[in-house]
Structure 1
Amino acid sequence: MEFSIKIYKITSFKTFDYNIKNQIQRAVLSIPFNIAEGFELQSNKQFIKFLYISKSSCAEVRSLLRICERLEYIESKNIQELIIESKNISKQLSKFINYLKKSEI
């Protein structure tokens, strides 16, 4: 959630093209929302499906961050930090997916 809030704040307080701003905010909010939604279904199979959606939202955010960098909406240094954070979240999601696949819960 902290990553989502960070991106949301950055894009809220700067001048962005509406479409990019809207898309990155929706993508970043999709990360924790899909985790919560999948968890609530109380099925590992369904939960894993929603974790994959969260993981792909991380990739979408990274792509949008690269576009923001090229359009000079966000400084390159900040972009790099955000991309690293997004990759770490993706790795955590992958590990959790693998754990759930092996789990008999």
Structure 2
Amino acid sequence: MDFERLVVWQRSRRLAVGVYRELADCRDFGFKDQITRSALSLPSNIAEGMERRSVKEKAHFLWIAKGSCGELRTQILIGSDIAYIAQPLADNWIAETRELSKMLCGLINKISD
């Protein structure tokens, strides 16, 4: 299955692009680096996993992607708390990370059957 066709990959890619664009002018380089890395890690690990041969390897990278999703959600929450991310946008991104996490669980279960 081509990872580009997966809705979870498409949505995580859009989220990563949104994070990069929104924080392009952030002068807190430590925060910016950390949140953009976790955002980029999400679609990247989905892609890497889906390109692997064995189900075990695929699932491993999808679990890593799920972990990155939780990391990203934490950073969004903190970014909102310190006023780096506007609350309405943070709420949208938090909801999206929750949905992506559920989608990843579903994909892991599907490929593991």
Q: TM-score, normalised by structure 2?
A: 0.85
For 1:1-105, list aligned pairs within 5 A. Answer: 1-12=13-24, 14-102=25-113
Q: Once superposed, which parts of structure 1, at least 4 consecutive aligned residues long, lie more than 4 Å away?
A: none
User: Aligned pairs, how many?
Assistant: 101
Q: 1:80 Cα deviation (Å)?
A: 0.5
1:89 positional shift: 0.7
Amino acid aligned to 1:94: C
Unaligned runs of at least 5 residues, structure 1: none
Structure 2: unaligned runs, 5 residues or longer: 1-12
Q: CA deviation at 1:39?
A: 1.5
Aligned identity (percent) is: 35
Q: Deviations over 1:44-100 (max 9, x none)?
A: 110000000000101001100111111101111110010001111111000000111
Structure 1 residue 26: deviation in Å? 0.5
Deviation (angstroms), 1:15: 2.3
User: What TM-score does the superposition give when structure 1 sets the normalisation length?
Assistant: 0.91
